[in-house]
Amino acid sequence: MKRISSRDNPAVKHLHALATSARDRRREGETLLDGAHLLEVALARGAALRQVVVSESGKSLQEIARLLARCNPDILVEVPDRVFAHVSPVDSPSGVLARIAIPVQPDALSVVGTCVVLDGVQDPGNLGTILRTAAAVGVGDVLLTPGCAQAWSPRVLRAAMGAHFGLRLWEGCDVGAALAGFPGAILAADLRDAVELYALDLQGPVAWLFGSEGLGLSAAVAALATQRVLIPMPGGMESLNVGVAAGVCLFEQLRQRRSGR
């Protein structure tokens, strides 16, 4: 296993840039997986790992040691704990991270099955939660408008817990073009002129539209909806966190499909 001890090493500088800069991640086409769980999912899904970095103390942990044994030894790098903390994308370093390529998106997108559209969702935790939920219910495509947080950022990856490897993610998406000719309902989570979620037939394809935490859907994306959907809240709350709202809607659709409504 190669060992690097200096923060001035070019490889360490590269890792630090990927950990801290969305611009560098886009330019290099790479990102970081933080923690043993994400590394384990990546290995299980056959992801191409470009580099695996372990801290001096992390190497002694049994869970991490087992994962390192499954990796190509040529890509393994050990660094002191202080250097690992410098390149870690999170405040509490996990002891292991991996550098991977961000998948290249095809130029054209046409969606025919149930999908999730995220419009201006900027919180990494909310975005990761929605991706995790979408993967859990079997949604294949998630479309993100240019105002969303970077889907392949380390913090979103951590929140999604491996969901990225089971989804097709379309960042910077022209949602109007992507949904042109969509064969199912296009449903916007909204409070205005809306039908209650549980009154709808959700057994067919649905394009779910979810907006930003503070502003909701933009006018352009909201105009694509064929129906507005209201989640009933008899307790009197005005709204739900976007991650929670997406979970309620997606699992209600799953319930209807499994039970025949």
Q: Is the pTM of this model over 0.75?
A: yes
Strand order in the sheet with 76-79: 2-3, 76-79, 49-55, 96-101, 30-34
Burial class (CB in 10 A: 0-12, 13-18, 19+), 162: buried
pLDDT, tens digit, for every residue of 34-63? Answer: 999 999 999 999 999 999 999 999 999 999
**75 to 3, 48, 71, 157, 195: CA distances (angstroms):** 11, 11, 8, 21, 54
35: left (phi over 0), alpha (psi -120 to 50) or beta: left
pLDDT, tens digit, for every residue of 138-192? Answer: 999 999 999 999 999 999 999 999 999 999 999 999 999 999 999 999 999 876 7
Look at residue 229 and tell me whether its pLDDT is greater than 80: yes
CB neighbours of 207 closer than 8 A, spacing ≥ 6? 111, 114, 115, 116, 117, 179, 182, 184, 185, 186, 187, 224
Q: How many residues does the chain have?
A: 261
Confidence of residue 240 (pLDDT cuts 50, 70, 90): confident
Task: Give the integer Cα–Cα distance in Å for 241 and 239.
Answer: 7
